């Protein structure tokens, strides 16, 4: 793939007034937007394309600016992960961070532990073992909705970090769910592609009815 081909895939659609010839230019075009960066919503083509690998020779200072802007947007939303396509940039990088306070019984049921700020670059994951778990999850790019989604309980992540050092790490529970969700974004996959759609609930309905630790109640009442 030529540089022009890669750049042409970065946005997934035409941005008024943006003329990019390199990946660096594409990043600068995004960083020129008001902060916190706007999170694009389902229906935007950039969310449905496989993101372009981050080149190892990318300007480190520019990359650090991008990561800082992504983290700012993630925390402002707020969310526990954000992939570059969600800010309109089809680049294969995501930021993760989960410091949410949830009831102890919910945290225990979902194996939800704090996840420190983590950058994953050019990631791939594979399921370890056969165990899966289904829980409600949402997405900043499908604002206002949540749905029960089956995910692997344990995954092995292979990527590089923000310094392009290789990483091989296993994640379990809710952390594994975050890794899968954000890496899927980089392959053009939204969580709704994997969700049980009869479980779909607005955020308000989820909070009112299904936010407890026992998903079986929602299964019975909604028929999924």
For residues 180 and 157, give the distance between their C-alpha atoms in angstroms, rounded to a whole number.
9
User: Of the residues 3, 104, 182, 221, which is catalytic?
Assistant: 182
Q: 149: which residues sit within 8 A by CB, 6+ positions away? A: 134, 135, 136, 137, 191, 194, 195, 196
For residues 171 and 158, give the distance between their C-alpha atoms in angstroms, rounded to a whole number.
11
Contacts 24+ apart (CB under 8 A), 96-103: 96/120, 96/178, 96/179, 96/182, 97/71, 98/174, 98/175, 98/178, 103/213
Catalytic residue list contains 182: yes
Which residues are catalytically annotated?
182
């Amino acid at each position: 793939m030529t540089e022009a081909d890669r750049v042409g895939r970065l946005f997934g659609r035409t941005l008024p007034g943006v003329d990019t010839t390199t990946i660096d230019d594409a990043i600068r075009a995004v960083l020129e937007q008001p902060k916190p960066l706007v999170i694009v919503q389902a229906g935007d083509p950039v969310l449905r394309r496989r993101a372009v690998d981050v080149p190892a020779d990318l300007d480190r200072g520019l990359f650090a600016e991008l990561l800082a802007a992504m983290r700012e947007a993630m925390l402002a939303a707020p969310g526990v992960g954000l992939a570059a396509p969600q800010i309109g940039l089809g680049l294969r990088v995501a930021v993760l961070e989960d410091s949410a306070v949830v009831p102890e019984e919910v945290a225990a049921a979902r194996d939800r532990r704090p996840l420190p700020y983590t950058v994953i670059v050019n990631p791939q994951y594979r399921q370890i073992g056969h165990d899966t778990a289904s829980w409600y999850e949402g997405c900043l790019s499908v604002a206002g909705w949540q749905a029960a989604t089956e995910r692997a309980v344990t995954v092995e992540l292979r990527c590089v970090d923000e310094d392009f050092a290789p990483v091989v790490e296993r994640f379990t529970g809710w952390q594994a769910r975050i890794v899968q969700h954000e890496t899927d974004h980089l392959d053009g996959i939204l969580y709704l592609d994997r969700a049980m759609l009869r479980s779909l609930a607005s955020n308000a309905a989820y909070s009112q009815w299904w936010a407890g630790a026992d998903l079986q109640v929602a299964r019975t009442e909604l028929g999924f």
